[in-house]
Structure 1
Amino acid sequence: MSFDTALRLTECLMALAIIQQSLEHRATERRGTWMFLLRIALCLWLLMGLMPGAALACLFATSLALLHRFQGPYNGGSDKMTLLILTCLTAARLAPERYAELAFAYLGAQLMLSYFVSGWIKVINPEWRSGRALADVFRFSAYPVSEGLRALAHRPRMLWLGGWAVMLLELAFPLALLHPLALMAALTLTAAFHFANACLFGLNRFFWIWLGAYPSILWLQSRLIG
């Protein structure tokens, strides 16, 4: 995948994710929606591909305004990833040409670390190693989990296997950079993991925005081993 193709694909995927986030806010909150309407308009501008650097700079400004408005990320980890992608894309478009690839490579590296660090934090936690942490997710989670799914908390062997499968996938993710087929397999599995979280817990924002960063690591791998 070429640099220009990966950069443009990331811009489009991020724009669609921000539109989804903004529409979600509009459906649940009526105050201060003008900022989210502005972000939708800026994303449509970005999707058209006209002066993408300017569109990204304006989106970055609205993100800073939202950080001030909500005293931090509006929706936790998904907003942090959104801001990371937006920052790297803005730098790639507006920085001197010799730094553009470096900014985009930083995004790919951070995506890799997001999985590895998550796996490391889990594996050093005895509750995750025993399966209790995952059982508590189903037993006490405030997310809209059905009663049928809550019953999974009483299946410790399955949850132990599921927890270790997730931890091993996240810890082994950096090794996928060694071969294109391995990376495609790893990205398919992590996308399935995010999709499962969206279906089970309603974490739909994570699914769309993490997928938006995938072109960066595909390009990074081709740059490293090509």
Structure 2
Amino acid sequence: MNPYLAFKNIAFTYQVTLCILSMGLFIASLEDLKSWSIFQPTGLLSWKVAKLSFKWRAKDLRQRLFNVLLQDHVFKCSIYLRAFASLLLFIFSLLNIISPTLICSVFFLNLLMNFRTPYGLDGSYQMTLVILFALSIGSLFGVDSSISTACLLFIAGELLTSYFIAGFNKLISPMWRTSSALHGIFSTKCYGHGFFFQLISCKHLLTTFLSWFVFLFEMLFFTVLFFHPMYTILFFAIGFLFHVFNAIFMGLNNFLFSFSAAYPALFYCVNYIHGT
């Protein structure tokens, strides 16, 4: 049997997805613990500041609940719990165990970050939340149910939509079409890289090629649906290398895991469409 045919099995698709996603969640949890100072009262993402984004009402039950869950000590414990639950989720996925309770727990623990950090959450967090939500619903209804299949199709649709929108926004941007966007990105302190910035600064043709390659790849990624499943590996390999590059040179390692975790669902979707 060809390896790609394994993804016709929903349970196997769930296991691979959870394996990849749990690794990313565990690393993200360790990063949050390492940078805990920004969550402290004097930090940029303190609860004292974050809760100002909510419109509280007197004797609001939600206010009291959030004040308990998102205060420093409790929230830090939730990060430790997220790290432990993610590790447990990884082990379960290796043992072919799909636990709806554990998946829902990881989803809830990850959701807390959205309330504690209402600003600055990137696409990797949103993709992670989408995948966890879909797998939570699918696992609760049973992996072999039609709801579970719909959840995988939903993840695949979210992945293709995310890529297409990202690529289209770059296409209509004069800065990306003229390659000046890459110069701007890699000259910054947050996402820049000295060696790569020097490389693209002296090689205009390379910079233009990379700019156009990125947004054309993102826009045309959806065409994977029209190819036989055996060719899907090529799309995934390019996408994986793209995210590896971003992780190494831009520090966007969370994107590597969150978007790669959606690939198995798309693989299942391609098999589903072609009826292989």
Q: Does 1:63 align with 2:63?
A: no
Counterpart amino acid of residue 99 in structure 2: P
Partner of 1:123: 171
* Distance verdict in 2 for CA 1:199–1:44, change over 3 Å: closer
Greater Cα offset, 30-39 or 124-133 = 30-39
Q: Does 1:208 align with 2:232?
A: no
Tell me if structure 2 keeps the 8 A contact 1:25–1:33.
no
- Structure 1 Cα separation of the partners of residues 271 and 102 of structure 2: 28
**CA RMSD, Structure 1 to Structure 2 (Å):** 1.9
> Which of 18, 25, 38 matches 2:32?
25
Tell me if structure 2 keeps the 8 A contact 1:135–1:156.
no
Counterpart amino acid of residue 189 in structure 1: I
* Distance verdict in 2 for CA 1:182–1:118, change over 3 Å: farther
> Which of 10, 16, 39 matches 2:23?
16
Q: Does 1:175 align with 2:223?
A: yes
> Which of 244, 263, 274 matches 1:195?
244
Tell me if structure 2 keeps the 8 A contact 1:191–1:207.
yes
Tell me if structure 2 keeps the 8 A contact 1:138–1:150.
yes
Q: Does 1:93 align with 2:142?
A: no
Counterpart secondary structure, 1:33 = helix
- Structure 2 Cα separation of the partners of residues 221 and 121 of structure 1: 26
Greater Cα offset, 152-161 or 52-61 = 152-161
1:47-74 Cα deviation digits (max 9, x unpaired)? 343561000111122122221112256x
Stretches of structure 1 that go unaligned for 5 or more consecutive residues are none
Counterpart secondary structure, 1:140 = coil
The TM-score, its normalising length taken from structure 1, stands at 0.91
- Structure 1 Cα separation of the partners of residues 125 and 30 of structure 2: 15
Tell me if structure 2 keeps the 8 A contact 1:92–1:101.
yes
> Which of 116, 119, 125 matches 1:79?
125
Shift of 1:149: 2.4
Partner of 2:77: 34
Counterpart amino acid of residue 190 in structure 1: G
Stretches of structure 2 that go unaligned for 5 or more consecutive residues are 1-6, 41-74
* Distance verdict in 2 for CA 1:51–1:214, change over 3 Å: closer
Greater Cα offset, 60-69 or 85-94 = 60-69
* Distance verdict in 2 for CA 1:10–1:133, change over 3 Å: same
Tell me if structure 2 keeps the 8 A contact 1:139–1:153.
no
* Distance verdict in 2 for CA 1:141–1:120, change over 3 Å: farther
- Structure 2 Cα separation of the partners of residues 54 and 67 of structure 1: 21
Shift of 1:144: 4.9
Counterpart amino acid of residue 56 in structure 1: I
Q: Does 1:47 align with 2:90?
A: yes
1:108-152 Cα deviation digits (max 9, x unpaired)? 111112111111111111211111112211233532522x32222
Shift of 1:5: 0.5
Structure 1's consecutive aligned runs of 4 or more residues displaced over 4 angstroms after TM superposition are: none
1:14-48 Cα deviation digits (max 9, x unpaired)? 11110011011122225543211101222233234
The TM-score, its normalising length taken from structure 2, stands at 0.75
- Structure 1 Cα separation of the partners of residues 184 and 119 of structure 2: 27
Task: Flag the structure with larger Rg.
Answer: 2
Counterpart amino acid of residue 122 in structure 1: K
Counterpart amino acid of residue 46 in structure 1: L
- Structure 2 Cα separation of the partners of residues 149 and 173 of structure 1: 25
Greater Cα offset, 5-14 or 174-183 = 174-183
Counterpart secondary structure, 1:142 = coil
Query: How many residues align structurally?
Result: 224
Shift of 1:189: 0.4
> Which of 206, 222, 231 matches 1:158?
206
Partner of 1:145: 193
